[in-house]
Amino acid sequence: MPFPSDLTPGPKDFWFLPLGGTGEIGMNMNLYGHNGQWLMVDCGVMFDKTRLQPDGSNSVVSADPHFISLRRQRLVGLVVTHAHEDHVGAIPYLWKELQCPVYTTAFTAEILRRKLVEAGLEEHVPIIEVDTGDLLKIGHFEIEWLSITHSLPEPHALLIRAGGSTVFHTADWKIDFDPVLGHQFQPQVFKQLASRKIKAMICDSTNAVVPGHSISEGDCFSGLLQLTRQAEGRVIVACFGSNVARLITLSRIAEQTGRYMALYGRSLRNMVGAAKKTGHWPDNAKVADGRHLGYLPRHEVLGVATGSQGEAAAALRKMALGTFRDLELEAGDTVIFSSKVIPGNEAAVGSLVSMLRQKDIQVIESADTESPIHASGHPCQEELTQLYDWVKPKISIPVHGTPEHINANAAIAREVGITTQLCGENGDLYRLAPTVGMKRKAVKTGRLFHDRQ
């Protein structure tokens, strides 16, 4: 069955069209099409290592929304699943091309609002806040928000219903029974999907090549506590700014080890500010003023710093260079990387680590310890098997991964007994109803580079 030449979905059609994030990791941009309308799910960026800004930080890149900006009057809304940059970060840059209502939950809305204020767009973008469990009609689409676990506050999966078929869009997820913050993973929510005859499961492939089960966020506590206890001088922990649960863990560790925790880096303070505003930060989790920690005895300092990927403009590199204003590191201090190196950043992290070691600062990375000090937010093979087995979709559509990750995810689905897997990349048009199929390279895709605001 051919697709219509103008690529406008008819009343019986239900299509999926990724413009970004499928065939790669980062800059997600997904479209669903039905009955003359399109719905966008997520609109993110990734960092471009080849282009540096004047301050040494990376430029950002997003998917090119050209296809949908040509059909803007058919775009009924943008749903944002969670507040990671690869899902929300492009909205300020691409707003002019989209200009549709944005639907998301409170924490993600708060993060988005802060970005819009910086871009001078806060008056222009209509944000509609939804709650977990809400069922909303957006144009001809019905959307249901399901709470799932990941590595920041308020991650959501979506049920999207159109033309009598239901799609389960997992977004980023893992199975975590001790996420430290927010709801724990609730199997019954996903087990009951089997009775709802899910047509397709559009699924995170980030860790589909990793055997076993992801580490629980709660399991990072004892490893980090032990390392902090052993340290004699200052302790600096580098972690991803958005992992609010990890920051809560570190505040507990500071309390138990007689240290004061402070945050170094704007993105960390921004995330904690948003977490406080939306009720995700416990009142008794104390954060000290970073400017004061330099005056304290070294064994009372626990700093959390941005720059776990070796970023040139981030706090940790400045500390390594001795150019950080608020805190100076000395021989005998400890830097803990509570993070993983994102592929492509090995050289930047390597040079940062050697700079620190040259100053006789002890550096501890995830691979150096037996107890976990970092937990990924994405599902490993056992979790993928489990979720496919619960949901039992007719079709598996792996996304959020390179072709290698996508194929690995599809192989797992096949093993579980999901008979149809559709593996493609950005620009491929997936037909979910009335018949199943796909058209490769149906839409021209591309990248847009943006100067960071």
Mark residues 125-164: x for contact with Zn ion by CB under 5 A, - for none: ----------------------------------------
- Of 84 and 169, nearer to Zn ion (C-beta) is 84
> For Zn ion, which is the closer residue by CB, 34 or 174?
174
Scan residues 260-319 and list those touching Zn ion (CB under 5 A).
none
User: Per CB under 5 A, which region of 79-87, 140-148, 193-201, 214-222 contacts Zn ion?
Assistant: 79-87
Among 47-55, 81-89, 385-393, 424-432, the segment contacting Zn ion (CB under 5 A): 81-89
Q: In this chain, which stretch among 77-85, 111-119, 128-136, 344-352 interacts with Zn ion, using CB under 5 A? A: 77-85
CB nearer Zn ion, residue 127 or residue 152: 152
Among 13, 64, 86, 217, which residue sits at the site for Zn ion (rule: CB under 5 A)?
86
* Residue closest to 167 by CA, chosen among 65, 75, 76, 41: 41
Closest approach, Cβ 232 to Zn ion, in A, equals 36
Nearest to Zn ion of 84, 431 (CB atom): 84
The residue count for binding Zn ion (CB under 5 A) is: 3
Smallest distance, Zn ion to C-beta of residue 172, A: 3
Give the C-alpha separation, 318 to 329, whole Å.
10
CB 382 → Zn ion: shortest distance, Å? 20
Smaller CB distance to Zn ion: residue 84 or 161? 84
135 CB neighbour count, 10 Å cutoff: 11
- For residue 31, which of 433, 426, 378, 400 has the smallest C-alpha distance? 426
Residue placing its CB nearer to Zn ion in the complex, 34 or 84: 84
Report the residue number, 83 or 364, with the smaller CB distance to Zn ion.
Answer: 83
Instruction: Please name every residue paired with 364 in a beta bridge, in sequence order, or none if there are none.
Output: 336
Q: How far is the CB of 20 from Zn ion (least distance, A)?
A: 11
Q: How far apart are CA 170 and CA 399, in angstroms?
A: 10
Least distance to Zn ion from the beta carbon of 86, Å? 4
Smallest distance, Å, CB 171 to Zn ion?
Answer: 7
- Nearest CA among 251, 238, 187, 245 for reference residue 217: 245
Q: Select the residue interacting with Zn ion from 34, 84, 317, 374 (CB under 5 A).
A: 84
Nearest approach in angstroms of CB 28 to Zn ion is 6
- Residue 86 or 176: the one with the smaller Cβ distance to Zn ion is 86
Q: State in angstroms the smallest separation of the CB of 129 from Zn ion.
A: 19
Q: Site residues for Zn ion, window 161-200 (CB under 5 A)?
A: 172
Binding site for Zn ion (CB under 5 A): 84, 86, 172
